[in-house]
Amino acid sequence: MNIDNHADSYFSISPYSSFANNPISFVDPTGEDILFWQWTDVRGGKWNQVTFNQLDKKLQQGILDFLGTKSGQQFFAQFAKKGDKIGNFKFVKDGSKSKHDLSIIESNYRMGAEGRNEYTGWKSGINFQILLNKDMENPEYNIPETLGHEVFLHMDNYMNDYIKAFEKNGWRGSDAAHEKQQENNTEGYKDHLNMTNDQNGKAKKYYEFISQLKGVLNPEEVQKQVDKDRVKNFQHGTDVQNRQKKA
């Protein structure tokens, strides 16, 4: 009945076509470019798009703490449209990547991992996805740290390459860039090793975020969470690297 608020971001689709003309896969009641989802059964793949206020309360607070940092604000602002809101935080202008989508997805214990980042390329743009396990331990510190981990250790290292490839060759180009990145960095193992081995290089943005997060939350507890994450992910990176050497 009405034109999508962000129809100008999707020239290939009629401005009167709801759900990107694919109501089976997408539900988009607001037309915004920062999306929130609940994945209620990972193995069954049951999805529901929700508002920020419908997320698990622990996730809401973790996202707001992430937004309490300069790095977190700048990251979300890239995908926002003027007037978009997360909680009481309102974005005042269109972001540089607002033609693409950022999806924050609430998952549950079946996901296993505390967080995961994924990518989907469509004709209209790219959907960058971050899954967060609402059942993770120590959620007060773990949720914002995990979100920062997925954003600044992983996603930020490939996001611009995917977008450049999309602008040149559409979703086929971004898919090719995604496949190349996965081949060169299986399970993100290089990023995990960088937490320990390259703190002032490829992991610099992550540690800048952590420094800012210590101004939002108890710094000693934040550091404990980082230390725990670093040990776990260094082991993961080493295991994957050793498997590749044997292959």
Output the pLDDT for position 15: 57
Residue 1 lies in a domain: no
Taking CA atoms, 235 is separated from 137, 177, 190, in Å, by 19, 27, 11
- Number of structural domains (the chain) is 1
Output the pLDDT for position 147: 97
pLDDT tens for each residue of 21-68: 544 334 444 444 799 999 866 555 677 899 999 999 999 999 999 999
Output the pLDDT for position 110: 67
Output the pLDDT for position 24: 37
Residue 177 lies in a domain: yes
The pLDDT of 212-219, averaged and rounded, is 97
With 70 as the cut, is the pLDDT of residue 101 above it?
yes
With 90 as the cut, is the pLDDT of residue 5 above it?
no
pTM for this model (two decimals)? 0.83
CB 206 within 8 A of CB 69: no
Residue 201 lies in a domain: yes
**Neighbouring C-alpha atoms within 13 Å toward the C-beta of 72:** 25
Q: How far apart are the first and last CA of the chain?
A: 56
Output the pLDDT for position 45: 63
Residue 191 lies in a domain: yes
Residue 206 lies in a domain: yes
Residue 199 lies in a domain: yes
User: Which value, to the nearest 10 degrees, does the dihedral of the CA atoms of residues 10, 120, 141, 218 take?
Assistant: -50
- The answer to which of 105-114, 140-149, 165-174, 194-203 has the lowest mean pLDDT is 105-114
Look at residues 229, 138, 246, 234 and name the one whose alpha carbon lies nearest to residue 191: 234
Residue 216 lies in a domain: yes
Residue 2 lies in a domain: no
CB 30 within 8 A of CB 109: no
Output the pLDDT for position 42: 52
Q: Which residue has the higher pLDDT, 230 or 15?
A: 230
Which residues form the domain of 185? 7-246
